[in-house]
Structure 1
Amino acid sequence: MIILVNPRATRPENRRFPLSIMAIGAALPSDVNWKIVDGNLPGIDAFSVIAGHIEQAAAEGDPVRSVAMTVMPGPQLVSAVPLAKAIKQRYPDIPIIWGGNFGSLYPQPVLNAPYVDWVVQGQGEETFLELLEAIAGRRDPKTVAGIAFRQKDGSHWIGPERIWKGPGELPAPPYHRIDVGQYLRPTILGHRSGVYQASIGCPYGCNFCGVISVFGRREKVQQPERTAEHLRYLVQHHGMDSVHFYDNNFFLNEAHAREVARTMKPLGLRWWCEARVDALCRFSDATWRALREAGLFMVFCGAESGSDEVLERMNKGITTEQILMTAAKTREHGIIPEFSFIFGDPEKPEQEMENTFSFIRRLKAINPDMELISYFFTPTPQRRRTYGGVDAHAGTPDTLEEWIEPEWVAWMTHEDPRLPWFAQKLRTRAQDFDLVLKSRFPSVHDRKTREWGKLLGKAAAWWRWRQEIYDDPRLLRQIRRFARITPDDSQAYGHLRPASAPKPRRSPRIVLTG
């Protein structure tokens, strides 16, 4: 028996398919018994469920061979640490395996934790199978690519990277092993929204992005026909009406986009995806129309900065002119664009932030439906480099216990990274700008503010937006507070959530090098 665990990462009402552990389970041989435990389900006590599976498996003569957990940075790490501790304390002989992005980015603190035995780095399907052989004593663990572990002398072994495969080379998601209906939740896309991932990796070299650390500058994409086949099953058998694609880069090129549109259109789904502005601005009007007719409702693009100089320093590979062109194209074809921007440039934080404010205003003038997704810059480990003189590992915690303290959770989620070059007054100004913009132009995501509050906020923000005055918008904060149906939810998944203003926290120990 293998137990695959998705520790709590969000509130139950925001749960989504546990795609990562579903993929691991699908790759296991048919004679291996496995169960999924999803800590995001309502009313679940993950430890009690896991313990029950362990006791039952032992009684039935199929003892649990390992407990494998997927762990993302942020709220999921906060849940995973005490859960792994509790399992190891009660069942010390059962190997605990961690996979997911956190261990891939930061293996050392995971290996410092006595309650985690193995770390799977990068793509896990084949690595996990070989690791099970090593745990059973049938092979030397040092021959397994993509794993890390503590050696007998306490030193850490971090193996070579595994050559990974695209989704089209791996088994289909095992939807029959979960209660699909529990995961189809209402979003702005529809009443029964699901999630899907049709590719892995990204071929671009943005030097602030953690995707490169896990997969390098590579992307593998399955054929659109196979994607449509899996989605068709969910539509026909479970009534899914919309889908949020998790791909880091959904369109390879225009020909691929047209094929996606062709296969998606018969499904009748409304969908969200992530794409590059340099690709989108090259699409013909015919391709844009095809995508809109196929159900594309919203497209997320990493704009990041309103400065060509900064974009070049980021190795982003796009220009401000391309961002403006994409805003115009989305307006022309009735597709809502989401543009992300990073505040907290290490070299010229104040100048860059003010420049980006001005650029966002230009985007809003071109396409008033444009949605802003803003982040604070957070150093992320990347292959053989630093960004702007920032060593992303320097000063980060050596233990998981410190990683789950509030200030480091805020750092991991980009909500409030306390960095020496980005003063509190700049963070506050960025938050005030965001409030003025989203009061003047209520977000399509905002379903938690009463309509009277949106109308009052629009009117109250009109003068501030017109005069470019963002400091200390007390009235707007009061309107938002009184008009909220429920508080902002910082544990909602991905970009389908509003940003929340973080509370002051102690500064993490990030230092500059070079």
Structure 2
Amino acid sequence: KQKLVAEIIKYNPDVLGVSFTTQAATGAYQLINEVKQRNDEIYIVVGGPHPTTIPEDCFKNSKADIVVIGEGEETFFEILEKIDSSSKDLCDIRGTVLMNNGQLKRNPLRPLIKNLDQIPFPARDLLDITRYPGYMYKKYDCDTDIISARGCPFNCTYCSNPVWKLQKPWYRLRSPQNVVDEMEHIIENYGIREIFDETDEFNGNKKWSKDVCDEIIKRNLGIAWKAQMRVDNIDPELVDKLKQAGFWMGLFGLESANDQ
């Protein structure tokens, strides 16, 4: 942690983004507070599952400046635009929570991004991706992940997904063409031939899943890939298409053997 803090202070960013789950909250708060202690001018934006669920906890336990609720692409971009323009008015950005004159201010939610295809692929070129070998189970030396859909159409009681269901639609899909475009981009630009689709459920929509497989088969990508799936929404046709498309491992949640 001290090495990370030192690297942040050395880089001296105008803005630092910290995304974290509840399990990582204690460490995230320590990081934020130590960075602020050494350079209070760094504007710290927090987001992710934990801040989205209980944003007030972030201000109670850390010196974070603002919380992004839910999807961050458009909200975080607006924050950066405001800071880049030397604007001091960050109080009314949709999809944020912040302290204003000592009071917690919750701004209205930002509408969900309707067309996921409009989101650019992650800027993997900004990292030395070879330093991140990926998931522990893989066929190749290195894999990387994608997210082909957002949300989930189901409502399991044990799952954290309901905290994200603040507005509809609950489940949004990228087009099969866009998903496979990203796979092709990864192969051509980084030489990585294994993909982990970390979508909550790749087979949440069975027809769409088959269409993605068909697109991979059509382009003859020659990849190995894996995904998270739902055990009760699969049939022999989908299994056959998955195999033809290079799919080799499915991760199924078996939280209970009793539907009740």
| TM beyond 0.5 | yes
Q: Report if the CA contact (8 A) 1:47-1:83 is conserved.
A: yes
| Greater Rg by CA | 1
Q: Secondary structure at the match of 1:303?
A: coil
1:298 to 241, 249, 258: 249
| Pair 186,277 (structure 1): closer, same or farther in 2 beyond 3 Å | closer
Query: 2: distance between equivalents of 1:155 and 1:138?
Result: 17
Q: Report if the CA contact (8 A) 2:30-2:62 is conserved.
A: no
Aligned to 1:100: 48
Q: How does 1:47-446 map to 2 (within 5 A)?
A: 47-54=5-12, 64-74=13-23, 76-133=24-81, 136-137=86-87, 139=89, 141-142=91-92, 144-152=93-101, 154-165=102-113, 166-185=115-134, 187-191=136-140, 192-216=142-166, 218-265=170-217, 266-280=220-234, 283=235, 285-309=236-260
Aligned to 1:46: 4
| Pair 70,160 (structure 1): closer, same or farther in 2 beyond 3 Å | same
- Could you tell me which amino acid in structure 1 is paired with residue 105 of structure 2? W
| Pair 171,185 (structure 1): closer, same or farther in 2 beyond 3 Å | closer
CA displacement at 1:133 relative to structure 2:
4.8
CA displacement at 1:134 relative to structure 2:
5.1
Structure 1, unaligned runs of 5 or more? 1-7, 9-43, 55-63, 310-514
Q: Secondary structure at the match of 2:25?
A: helix
TM-score, length basis structure 2: 0.87
CA displacement at 1:233 relative to structure 2:
2.3
What percent identity do the matched residue pairs reach? 22
CA displacement at 1:224 relative to structure 2:
1.7
Query: 2: distance between equivalents of 1:111 and 1:246?
Result: 30
CA displacement at 1:237 relative to structure 2:
3.3
- Could you tell me which amino acid in structure 2 is paired with residue 70 of structure 1? S
CA displacement at 1:68 relative to structure 2:
1.5
Q: Report if the CA contact (8 A) 1:201-1:219 is conserved.
A: yes
Q: Report if the CA contact (8 A) 2:66-2:96 is conserved.
A: yes
